[in-house]
Structure 1
């Protein structure tokens, strides 16, 4: 007769989309104090992979678990700001802080309607940053100098990078402790990953030795298609444990919630996509990437 602490041979192991046993991850314990923050850059030079969607919903999910979160809109398109219902004109933005590092970053921090989630917005002005900063001394370190002034006020800072590997993205990687790579479950999305990993390694070698690859997040997954399943299998085969167990499915609820200017955990809290981002937040805490 099997002992109580041993699995029964008849018990079925439920496998998640990544082929690993599905785990729920425990609810994170309440924090008795806040800060200093761990800075995570959400980075992929390919557009349309769910980077901003992940920034919005992961930030809101971490705030739901009592973490103080600062989101940095680091894309001139300002999609992160718009997705959280924050105006981007006639107010201080991350561009102003980059040009004047003596300015208090708190002047540009905006409280969102999500409790515990603040944002430093961006607008099209940020597109001129690379031109203005090209002759600056230690131009790759400018964002790090800005964030140094607020890092003790938060538990996590999420930087939503633009889809390129230019100076702004290098600034984000230089300021960050970790990198989270949203990766669409589509063949062409795989092609640019090697270049992104090479860029991360160069930043590690030359600018930020403590930078870590926190993981790759499979997004826009559709279990009904063989293509999605094959691409996800290839990602797991290549990166193994660096692939998050949480997988984000494809759904029209994401653009619907973005138009409404609220995270999906508020727009449709019971939807599987909302539950997936809450699970991702728990997984990040479980992995030690977030306090």
Structure 2
């Protein structure tokens, strides 16, 4: 069983979209759990879960919770706006960085893959996600401002690895909203090579594709909405690449 956190402290980089479509693909290979840890709950709503009986909040507080089945072979621990303020509830708790790890202890044997959609910050909730993960995937938008946050994220991941979870590693960086016709794409690649991050890059780039936005409006995955679209092709290729890297890490 492998746990993969999808993380970026910036919004609008296709973090949630990437988490959804990777989890759906993983469910074709084995039983998969996806966890929504973002208080905006976009991932949960995308799967049609709007008023869940229990959420990730209960899991973090050590209370009873139940995953919801959302697709064949795919379960979800949803989020909702009740996650707002969870940091203050956890602040004085013992082992507050490991609340999610403890909550998942009895569930991990039931799944082959767990994907975690982290919030767009480096909060205690994000620390909980990284504390129980094997790998991190960093989606970054194909623009210079998105590149500038990579150092901060890498240092944050190292801090968690060095102090809490020594098995944690970066599986890769994936470029989203890519448009090879724009000069900014070349600028982004030059900056990545300059910082020596190119060795971590996935070969697959997620191209700008209106089908991805349309699939969200219909509360469908890109594969359900248009399997022949560029978005579906790119996320399929990324899914294979993710599994290949995981297998190579064994």
Interval containing the TM-score (normalised by the shorter chain): over 0.9
Deviation at 1:232, TM superposition (A): 2.8
Structure 1 pair 138/58, CA: closer, same or farther in 2 (3 Å)?
A: same
Aligned length: 248
Q: Aligned match of 1:71 in 34, 40, 45? A: 34
Structure 2: runs of 5 or more not aligned: none
- The 1-side partners of 2:219 and 2:32 are apart by 17
Asked if 2 retains the 8 angstrom alpha-carbon contact of 1:108 and 1:121, the reply is: no
TM-score (norm 1): 0.82
Partner of 1:162 in structure 2? 119
TM-score (norm 2): 0.95
State which structure, 1 or 2, has the greater radius of gyration over its C-alpha atoms.
Answer: 1
Partner of 1:288 in structure 2? 246
- The 2-side partners of 1:79 and 1:225 are apart by 29
Partner of 1:86 in structure 2? 49
- The 2-side partners of 1:42 and 1:161 are apart by 6
Q: Aligned match of 2:204 in 243, 246, 265? A: 246
- The 1-side partners of 2:72 and 2:6 are apart by 22
- The 1-side partners of 2:14 and 2:185 are apart by 15
Partner of 1:213 in structure 2? 170
Deviation at 1:241, TM superposition (A): 2.4
Structure 1: runs of 5 or more not aligned: 1-36
Asked if 1 retains the 8 angstrom alpha-carbon contact of 2:52 and 2:78, the reply is: no
Residue 178 (structure 1) aligned with residue 132 (structure 2): no
Q: Aligned match of 1:49 in 9, 13, 30? A: 13
Q: Aligned match of 1:97 in 59, 64, 71? A: 59
Q: Aligned match of 1:139 in 96, 104, 126? A: 96
Asked if 1 retains the 8 angstrom alpha-carbon contact of 2:62 and 2:103, the reply is: no
Deviation at 1:235, TM superposition (A): 2.2
Partner of 1:30 in structure 2? none
Q: Aligned match of 1:60 in 24, 41, 47? A: 24
Deviation at 1:213, TM superposition (A): 0.6
Deviation at 1:236, TM superposition (A): 4.5
Deviation at 1:240, TM superposition (A): 2.6
After superposition, the C-alpha distances for 1:172-228 in whole angstroms (9 at most, x for unaligned) are 111111100001110000111101111001111110111011100110101110102
Partner of 1:126 in structure 2? 83
Partner of 2:2 in structure 1? 38
Deviation at 1:108, TM superposition (A): 2.1
Query: Residue 247 of structure 1 aligns to a residue in which SS?
Result: coil
Partner of 1:266 in structure 2? 224
- The 2-side partners of 1:267 and 1:236 are apart by 35
